[in-house]
Amino acid sequence: MANTPQAKKRIRRNDRRAEINGNRVGRIRTFVKKAEAALAAGDKPAATEAMAAMQPELARGVAKGVLHKNTASRKFSRLTKRLAALA
């Protein structure tokens, strides 16, 4: 258990940040799922639109530090390949 005031504050802050970061990751996952669903359905216009909405969300996640740069890049690359294969 934390004894010093700074350790207690750090625990409070970590809890707040964990909640915020969890919400951010959840939001990113939602956008990725929408893109994947559109790709699975074979709906190219919807998939293109979903990809356009998903890409800035991934970039924001990287900027905020909740996603690794290579993870976001990998997700976007794989989904872009699937979108190109629909043609």
pLDDT value, residue 2: 85
pLDDT averaged per 10 residues in sequence order, the chain, 87 residues: 93 97 97 97 95 97 97 97 92
Please tell me the distance from the alpha carbon of residue 64 to that of residue 56, in angstroms, as a whole number: 12
Q: What is the pLDDT of residue 78?
A: 97
Task: Name the H helices within 1-87.
Answer: 5-41, 44-64, 69-85
CATH of 5-85, one of 1.20.58.110, 2.40.160.40, 1.10.10.10, 1.10.3720.10: 1.20.58.110
pLDDT attached to residue 75: 97
Q: Between the CA atoms of 60, 28, 55 and 57, what dihedral angle is there, to the nearest 10 degrees? A: -30
pTM of the entire predicted model: 0.87
* Main-chain dihedrals φ then ψ at residue 45, nearest 5 degrees: -65, -40
